[in-house]
Amino acid sequence: MLTEKVTELKKKILEMAALVEKMVAYSFEGIETGNNKYNEVMEYEQRVNRLEMEIEDDCIVLMARHHPEAKDLRIILMIYKINNDLERLGDQAVNIAESVNIVAGNPHNADIPELSSMMDVTLKMLHQSIAAYTNEDVENARLVCRQDEIVDSYNRRITNQLIVLIKENPLQIEYYLHLLRITKNLERIGDLSTNIGENTVYLVQGRVIKHQLENTDREN
Amino acid sequence: MTYRRLKSHIGINLLRLCLAVTALFLIAFLFRIFSKGLSVISWQFLTTPPKNSMTAGGIYPALVGTFWLTVTSIGIAFPLGIMTAIWLNAYGKPAWLVRIIRISINTLAGVPSIIYGLFGMALFVNMLRFDVSIIAGALTLAVLALPMIINASEEALKSVPVDFRDASLALGATKRQTIMRVLIPTALPNILTGTIISIGRVAGETAPIMFTAATFYSRRLPNGIFDEVMALPYHIYALMTEGTKAESQVPIAYGTAVVLLMLVLSISATAIIIRYRIRKKRKW
Amino acid sequence: MVTNQIQTLKLNLWFGNNHVLHDVSMGVTEKKITAMIGPSGCGKSTLLRTFNRMNDLIDETRISGKVLLDGEDIYRSKADVTNLRTRVGMVFQKPNPFPKSIFNNVAFGMAVQGKFNRSQIEDRVEKSLRDAWLWDEVKDRLNESAMSLSGGQQQRLCIARALANNPEVLLLDEPTSALDPQSTSKIEELCLELKNMVTILIVTHNIAQAGRISDYIAFMYLGELVEFGETNKVFTVPQDKRTEAYLTGVFG
């Protein structure tokens, strides 16, 4: 009985993950091509929000009625958390899409050559984290978590570059601030993907690897 | 050995002793009857009527008489008893009537058998003018067997789990169907047990038939249920109390006793086999 | 508005001077599982037994209010109780197959109705045993005593026996409280399957069981229907303090 319901829930969360991944990809597309898919992103956002509420409800009802244990419990708890992460990821995509509306097709994009590399890395992280969750692949989940460093360093470098650029071209400040916002959101996407990776490890192995807890464990 | 173990040791051995004494009585009793009676028994003894004022010949009429008395009386008492038990168990209203009937049954069960004889004579022989006959004797014996059969049947019906009744009613059976299809079949083995015991009692009773059915001496078989008849227990009584030639009558009495004993035992055995067969099919 | 298959209206019930049910008004939706929960002696079993009038067997039972089945009052003066009981089947707490063969147990309801021929009975017996997930286990021993089955099988036999009457409603009175965990979950899964063909009302002491299988919950307390609603809602956010307390194990 519970198994069927959990399977159903898993399907829903995967559906949601697919939507979110698409949203993020759509929002990125605009920066490069200037062809902003803001409307599509907003439409997906609605569906994601509906799914988020539905999944949250399902998790609560399942826990209340079926008292899941062990793996079932971890699955439902992690779905509950990943559900939350995915919804936030959707919000990041919306933020990016909003800023892209303003920066789309602007020739100054070329000023920040690393931005597109950062986008590639975050999109890959997101994709990998969802794939790792789907396949319950601990190896790849841990790999995602390690990539967060790369995104963070992109974030630092681009931020510094933008500060320099703003000082040089104060008239372009609005444009640069939007690029800053995009960068910030990309960094968040990296963080949330990492969360999904961590949750996947907990789901499969029941181990908490957040906040370097695991490393300290090893040293001890 | 501790005190407690000693006590239980003594207790168990005391029980063993009691068992041994009881068994001894039974063995001595059977031994005496069989050793004295077995030699008399022959095919001829079973199939010929008595001769020479009961000093010779067989017991055929008495055997047949006892058979008919027993069968007729149980044939009357069995359905009557079961139906009474069913009424008490399943319908039984109003409560005061049930109580009166219960008291009557229990009183009946405690009445000495000679009183049945007198009652039977008064009611069946004289009042209803059945005369001294199989029917009068069988009715008297039926009255004697009735409380036993009713009590046994009621116990048997009571021991049927109420779950069965509920299940039957919940499936849309009427009360009558529930009684016929569930209650009686389930209780039947135990009802038969009660009946077996009463068959033994009925076949062996002397007093109730003395004035109602039995004849002292007859060389022929009864012509029907309104004819008087010889019976085994009464025949023994007659052999031991009447007549003049004890030395030839006493062995015949013992032989008759053996036959009576065997008869009762074989009736019981048959019923036990029937009961066993039914039980095997309906265990719960 | 969807009409309820069973509807009680201001139902009160007394055993002698004992007022057992107080103004119970409750609707039961067709082809759903409604679980009746509450502490011992709260009247949930009594309420269940009003739906097939099994309370009639207890002396001095009095009733006021109405119990409607498909809109008809089952306590009206000319109601046919035996017909009612073929429409509303019941399974009891303790498995209670008759000391008869497996076949005759399942055929019992049809046999007492006396309007079916042999082949109809055989077909229905097989179908009922299949529906109760028992056929494969007993198909080669239909003439053996039902008493030779295990407890869980006996209870499924009782379900098959009730199903053989083609009931609209199936009343289950704590059907798994005498069974081991495996047999229990089998019967729970069976219930979920059976609700495609019958409306199920189940009395249970096992809150978790009610959570697992029911669509609706009726919480009874001291003879009152305290709360009635969808299981999802009652189990997450009950409306009444007493329901909350019972579900969280404060009493019961």
Taking CA atoms, what residue in C is nearest to B161? C96
| Residue A219: per-residue pLDDT | 38
Is residue C111 within 8 angstroms of chain B, CB to CB? yes
The residues that bridge with C200 in the sheet, in sequence order, are: C33, C170
Do residues C36 and C204 lie in contact, with contact meaning Cβ atoms separated by under 8 Å?
yes
Taking CA atoms, what residue in B is nearest to C51? B170
The Cα–Cα gap between A188 and A88 comes to 9
Those of residues 51-110 in B touching chain C at CB distance below 8 A are: none
Q: Helix count (H) and strand count (E) of chain A?
A: 7, 0
Closest C-alpha to A121, from A91, A143, A90: A143
| Angle in degrees, 0-180, between the axes of helices A114-135 and A2-33, rounded to the nearest 10 | 170
Q: Give the CATH number for residue A25.
A: 1.20.58.220
For the domain made up of C6-95+169-247, give the CATH fold: Rossmann fold (3.40.50)
Yes or no, beta carbons of A61 and C232 under 8 Å apart: yes
The Cα–Cα gap between B12 and B5 comes to 11
Yes or no, beta carbons of A64 and C192 under 8 Å apart: no
Yes or no, beta carbons of C212 and A60 under 8 Å apart: no
Looking at the domain assignment, is residue A61 inside a domain? yes
- DSSP assignment of chain B, as one string? --HHHHHHHHHHHHHHHHHHHHHHHHHHHHHHHHHHHGGG--HHHHHS-EETTTTEE--HHHHHHHHHHHHHHHHHHHHHHHHHHHIIIII--SHHHHHHHHHHHHHHHHS-HHHHHHHHIIIIIIIS---SSHHHHHHHHHHHHHHHHHHHHHHHHHTS-HHHHHHHHHTT--HHHHIIIIIHHHHHHHHHHHHHHHHHHHHH--HHHHTTTB-S--SS--SSTTS-B--HHHHHHHHHHS-S-HHHHHHHHHHHHHHHHHHHHHHHHHHHHHHHHHHHHS--
B124-128: average pLDDT:
89
The Cα–Cα gap between B257 and C116 comes to 56
Q: Could you give phi then psi for residue C203, rounded to 5 degrees?
A: -95, 130
Residue type at A66 in one-letter notation: H
Is residue C135 within 8 angstroms of chain B, CB to CB? no
B132-139: average pLDDT:
90
Is residue C124 within 8 angstroms of chain B, CB to CB? no
Yes or no, beta carbons of C145 and B283 under 8 Å apart: yes
Do residues B218 and B49 lie in contact, with contact meaning Cβ atoms separated by under 8 Å?
yes
Yes or no, beta carbons of C162 and B170 under 8 Å apart: yes
Placement of tokens 């009003």 in the chain: C50
Domain assignments of chain C as residue spans, ordered by start:
6-95+169-247
How far is CA C189 from its chain centroid? Answer: 15
Tens of pLDDT, residues B62-114: 888 898 999 999 999 999 999 999 999 888 888 899 999 999 999 988 889 89
| Residue B62: per-residue pLDDT | 87
The Cα–Cα gap between A97 and A27 comes to 5
| Residue A218: per-residue pLDDT | 43
Which of A53, A65, A72, A76 has the highest number of chain C CBs within 10 A, making it the mutation to test binding with C? A65
Q: Dmax over Cα atoms in chain A, in whole Å?
A: 64
Give me A206's structure tokens.
């029941």
Residue among C90, C97, C145 minimizing CB distance to B281: C145
Do residues A166 and A111 lie in contact, with contact meaning Cβ atoms separated by under 8 Å?
no
How far is CA B255 from its chain centroid? Answer: 21
Task: Please give the residue that has the higher pLDDT: either B169 or B230.
Answer: B169
Do residues C116 and C160 lie in contact, with contact meaning Cβ atoms separated by under 8 Å?
no
Residue type at B12 in one-letter notation: I
**Which domain does A211 fall in, by range?**
2-215
**Residue B269 above 80 pLDDT?**
yes
Q: What is the 3-state secondary structure (H, E, C) of B204-248?
A: HCCHHHHCCCECCCCCCCCCCCCCCECCHHHHHHHHHHCCCCHHH
Alpha helices (H) in C18-117, listed in sequence order: 44-50, 81-87, 102-113
Q: Give the predicted TM-score (pTM) of the model.
A: 0.79
Placement of tokens 């005061």 in the chain: B96
Yes or no, beta carbons of C92 and B166 under 8 Å apart: yes
Distances (CA, A) of C172 to B277, C132, C135, C165: 35, 14, 21, 15
Interface present between C and A (3 or more CB pairs within 8 Å):
yes
The Cα–Cα gap between B82 and B101 comes to 14
ipTM value: 0.93
Looking at the domain assignment, is residue A42 inside a domain? yes
B32-58: average pLDDT:
84
Q: Could you give phi then psi for residue C114, rounded to 5 degrees?
A: 65, 25
Contacts 24+ apart (CB under 8 A), B116-120: B116/B140, B116/B141, B116/B143, B116/B144, B116/B207, B116/B208, B117/B207, B117/B208, B117/B209, B117/B210, B117/B211, B117/B212, B118/B211, B119/B143, B120/B208, B120/B211, B120/B212
| Residue A213: per-residue pLDDT | 53
Interface present between B and C (3 or more CB pairs within 8 Å):
yes
pLDDT tier, C1 (very low <50, low <70, confident <90, very high otherwise): very low
Helix (H) or strand (E) holding C17: none
Do residues A189 and A122 lie in contact, with contact meaning Cβ atoms separated by under 8 Å?
yes
C132: how many CB neighbours lie within 10 A of its CB? 26
Q: Residue A153: CB partners within 8 Å, gap ≥ 6? A: none
Distance from CA of C235 to the nearest CA of A (A): 6
Closest C-alpha to A151, from A200, A194, A197: A194
C66-91: average pLDDT:
94
Do residues C10 and C64 lie in contact, with contact meaning Cβ atoms separated by under 8 Å?
yes
| Residue B281: per-residue pLDDT | 61
Q: Which chains touch A (3 or more CB pairs under 8 A)?
A: C
What 8-state DSSP symbol labels residue C224? E
Placement of tokens 């995915």 in the chain: A86
**Residue B284 above 90 pLDDT?**
no
Do residues C178 and C95 lie in contact, with contact meaning Cβ atoms separated by under 8 Å?
yes
Q: Which residues of A touch C232 (CB under 8 A)?
A: 57, 61, 64-65
pLDDT tier, B221 (very low <50, low <70, confident <90, very high otherwise): confident
Closest C-alpha to C247, from C1, C195, C236, A177: C236
Closest C-alpha to C209, from C184, C173, C233: C184
> For chain C, which residues lie within 8 Å of any Cβ of chain A, measuring from their own Cβ?
188-189, 192, 208, 211-213, 231-232, 235-236
C219-228: average pLDDT:
95
**Residue C252 above 70 pLDDT?**
no
Let me know how long chain C is: 252
Counting as low any pLDDT under 50, the low residues of chain A are 216-220
Looking at the domain assignment, is residue A220 inside a domain? no
Those of residues 146-205 in B touching chain C at CB distance below 8 A are: 161, 163-164, 166-174, 177, 181-182, 185-186
Distance from CA of C208 to the nearest CA of A (A): 7
Helix (H) or strand (E) holding C228: strand C224-230
* Secondary structure class of A122 (helix, strand, coil): helix
What number of C-beta contacts closer than 8 Å exist between B and C? 71
Helix (H) or strand (E) holding C226: strand C224-230
Q: Residue C183: CB partners within 8 Å, gap ≥ 6? A: C150, C151, C152, C155, C176
Distance from CA of C239 to the nearest CA of A (A): 15
Taking CA atoms, what residue in B is nearest to C58? B166
Distance from CA of C167 to the nearest CA of A (A): 25
Distances (CA, A) of A214 to A78, A161, B1, C204: 19, 34, 67, 46
Taking CA atoms, what residue in C is nearest to B91? C57
Q: Could you give phi then psi for residue B242, rounded to 5 degrees?
A: -105, 180
Residue type at B80 in one-letter notation: L
Looking at the domain assignment, is residue A68 inside a domain? yes
Residue among C189, C235, C236 minimizing CB distance to A1: C189
Q: How many domains is chain A partitioned into structurally? A: 1
Query: What torsion do the CA atoms of C127, C128, C134, C138 make, to the nearest 10 degrees?
Result: -70
Mean pLDDT lowest for which of B131-135, B213-217, C222-226? B213-217
Tens of pLDDT, residues A55-105: 999 999 999 998 898 888 999 999 999 999 999 999 999 999 888 888 776
Contacts 24+ apart (CB under 8 A), C221-224: C221/C38, C221/C39, C221/C42, C221/C246, C222/C22, C222/C42, C222/C43, C223/C19, C223/C20, C223/C21, C223/C22, C223/C42, C223/C43, C224/C22, C224/C23, C224/C24, C224/C43
Looking at the domain assignment, is residue A185 inside a domain? yes
Do residues C171 and C7 lie in contact, with contact meaning Cβ atoms separated by under 8 Å?
no
Most confident of B21-30, B151-160, C157-166: C157-166
- My answer on whether omega of the bond before A170 falls inside 30° of 0, hence cis, is no
Average per-residue pLDDT for chain B: 87
Yes or no, beta carbons of B282 and C158 under 8 Å apart: no
pLDDT tier, C2 (very low <50, low <70, confident <90, very high otherwise): low
The Cα–Cα gap between C237 and A207 comes to 32
* Degrees to nearest 5, angle at CA A21 with A18 and A26: 125
B120: how many CB neighbours lie within 10 A of its CB? 28
Helix (H) or strand (E) holding A63: helix A38-66
**Residue B271 above 80 pLDDT?**
no
Yes or no, beta carbons of C236 and A61 under 8 Å apart: yes
Distance from CA of C236 to the nearest CA of A (A): 6
Tens of pLDDT, residues B147-188: 999 999 999 999 899 999 999 999 999 999 999 999 999 898
* Degrees to nearest 5, angle at CA C102 with B82 and C83: 70
Residue among B163, B173, B284 minimizing CB distance to C112: B173
Which of B162, B166, B168, B171 has the highest number of chain C CBs within 10 A, making it the mutation to test binding with C? B171
Q: Which residues of C touch A1 (CB under 8 A)?
A: 188-189, 192, 212-213
**Residue C143 above 50 pLDDT?**
yes
| Residue A100: per-residue pLDDT | 85
The Cα–Cα gap between B178 and B192 comes to 20
Yes or no, beta carbons of A65 and C192 under 8 Å apart: no
Burial A186-200 (b: 16+ CB within 10 A, else e): bbbbbbbbbbbbbbb
Is residue C90 within 8 angstroms of chain B, CB to CB? yes
Taking CA atoms, what residue in B is nearest to C49? B170
